[in-house]
Amino acid sequence: MAELIRVADGADPRLADYRDLRDVSLRKHLEAEHGLFLAEGEKVVRRALEAGFPARSFLMAERWLEGLADVLDRSDAPCFVVEEKLAEEVTGFHVHRGALASLERRPLPSLDSVLAGARSVLVLEDIVDHTNVGAIFRSGAALGFDAVLLSPRCADPLYRRAVKVGMGAVFSVPWTRTSDWAGALPALSERGFTTVALTLAPDAVPVDRAVAGLDRVALVLGSEGHGLSPRWEQTADRRATIPMREGIDSLNVAAATAIACYETARR
């Protein structure tokens, strides 16, 4: 059972995991170096624990203890109980949903273990916005995707904002990051997946036709600014597009992913 420890001093070193949560570059260093990530909100904290991530500690105001009593009962990590004002002082923002947990990252699984048994996979190249990464995981989970593969420079799915926007889908959908950017799509083709790249190229076929009748599919999405790299576009087995009104900016990548996942789920 988690030990409840009341803390009244914002400078207490035991709160280090929760420091300055709005400072993205600081947090990236801190979380990578200590192998931790943060979950925020009762539902997301519960899902992280249920998915088997070991808790380092919890931080919450008194009034959140009851809702998470069962989770705390099953954990040996300390729970720091603070005034809401102190939580705000430490984290740098108003903690709407009260509860925070610091959890241990796990080693990234191998590509083969992530793909084992998978039929529908998302592959993200250099999506740099944490909100988009979270939204993509959420849509993929809801529409029956089995795994996600990230390019070396794709944003971290365990960053707090991605976890929150994804409603914890990043805990339930197996994912890993490839270190072999150039060979990423061929590696999927070799394993029996048809890689289908979403693109605005004029010769791409509508996505419903691109995925029709396929067994194993890997949908390939490019970055927010420039879309897919030429390398990935060229090494994909097929190129697909979502028909849009002429003269309009493209869809946001999260919206395009939702539509492509929807069509792929119906193939």
Given the rule CB under 8 A, which residues bind a copy of itself? 131, 135, 138-139, 141-144, 165, 167, 169, 242-245, 248-252, 254-256, 258-259, 262, 265-266
Which residue, 13 or 247, has its beta carbon nearer to a copy of itself?
247
Which residue, 93 or 179, has its beta carbon nearer to a copy of itself?
93
Q: Are strands 147-150 and 79-81 parallel, antiparallel or unpaired?
A: unpaired
Q: C-beta of 135: minimal distance to a copy of itself in Å? A: 6
CA distance 103 to 236: 36
Other Cβ atoms less than 10 A from the Cβ of 226: the count is: 8
Q: C-beta of 244: minimal distance to a copy of itself in Å? A: 5
Sign for the pseudo-dihedral over CA of 51, 55, 61, 65: positive
Which residue, 165 or 187, has its beta carbon nearer to a copy of itself?
165
Q: C-beta of 68: minimal distance to a copy of itself in Å? A: 19
Q: C-beta of 15: minimal distance to a copy of itself in Å? A: 25
Which residue, 143 or 228, has its beta carbon nearer to a copy of itself?
143
Q: C-beta of 254: minimal distance to a copy of itself in Å? A: 7
Angle between helices 130-142 and 253-265 (to 10 degrees): 20
Which residue, 72 or 210, has its beta carbon nearer to a copy of itself?
210
Q: C-beta of 250: minimal distance to a copy of itself in Å? A: 7
Which residue, 138 or 239, has its beta carbon nearer to a copy of itself?
138
**Closest by Cα among 17, 257, 239, 16 to 129:** 257
Q: C-beta of 139: minimal distance to a copy of itself in Å? A: 5
Phi-psi region of 231 (alpha: psi -120 to 50; beta: other; left: phi over 0): alpha
Amino acid at 266: R
Which residue, 217 or 256, has its beta carbon nearer to a copy of itself?
256
